[in-house]
Amino acid sequence: MTELAHHGTDYPVVEREPPEIQARNLRVGSWLWSSATVFFFFAYLFAYFYLRAVNQNDLWKPKHVNPSFTLGTLTTAALVAAAVLLRLGLADHRAERRPAWNVKGAVALGLLVVSIALQIAAWATQDFGPTDGGYASVYVGWTGLQLLFVVGLLFWLETTLATSIRYRTSADRPVEPGHASGDRDRTADDIEDPVSLIRPQLDALSVFGLTLAGSAAVAWLLLYVV
């Protein structure tokens, strides 16, 4: 390649990529990112069992370290329900029931907001911090990282849902050149028919959502039940 793309580069040189390529990239990327996410949380899983087994000075979980079971359960339930709705929304989209997917996507978006709000409420009502024993450090670290990933999922879902609603029918609202790429000065899109990537985006979203839901279920079992 002898010339890099720059401001004066003719856009057709770097545009009109077939959508199948990006769809495949999204599919592979979602599995890689989901696998990496599992390893992120595996560190807390190991810390939980290790610190509990060591129980140095019997300070694994002092009596005052007692997070709200109700808030923890509701937080997890909201995230799991959102992940299930994403999967059902994908099935609707594949069956060409796009209005149904839009509704499920909007409800899933609301559930993610509820999950975030409930986790913040749980932190606000607890009377311990990460230095109050091994359990407390695992709890704060695990739930904090989980919240960070849920915020990322929320943003990803919001952008996908907004695109789906805005371009719900190509006949009524055709995609103008450059719109889906975010650059209105372009004379063409980054890829051919960018709206066709909504389904691959939703497929990737559902994979990542189920991964987070599974991690949240394990965290709930260990941090609130065991």
CATH assignment at residue 137:
1.20.120.80
Query: Would you report the helix, strand and coil content of the chain in percent, each value rounded to 5?
Result: 70, 0, 30
Residue 171 lies in a domain: no
Q: Over the stretch 168-182, which tens digit does the pLDDT of each residue have?
A: 655 445 566 555 555
Distances (CA, A) of 194 to 39, 160, 165, 218: 32, 12, 14, 37
Q: Over the stretch 90-120, which tens digit does the pLDDT of each residue have?
A: 999 888 888 899 999 999 999 999 999 999 9
How far is Cα 219 from Cα 37, in angstroms, rounded to an integer? Answer: 14
Q: Residue 201: CB partners within 8 Å, gap ≥ 6?
A: 26, 156, 160, 163
Number of domains the chain is built from: 1
Residue 174 lies in a domain: no
By CB atoms closer than 10 A (0-12, 13-18, 19+), residue 119 is buried
* Mean pLDDT per 10-residue section of the chain, whose length is 226 residues: 47 60 85 92 93 85 91 97 95 88 95 97 92 93 95 94 75 55 59 74 93 95 92
Question: pTM value?
Answer: 0.82
Domain that holds residue 199: 35-162+190-225
Instruction: Decide if 112 contacts 78 (C-beta within 8 A).
Output: yes
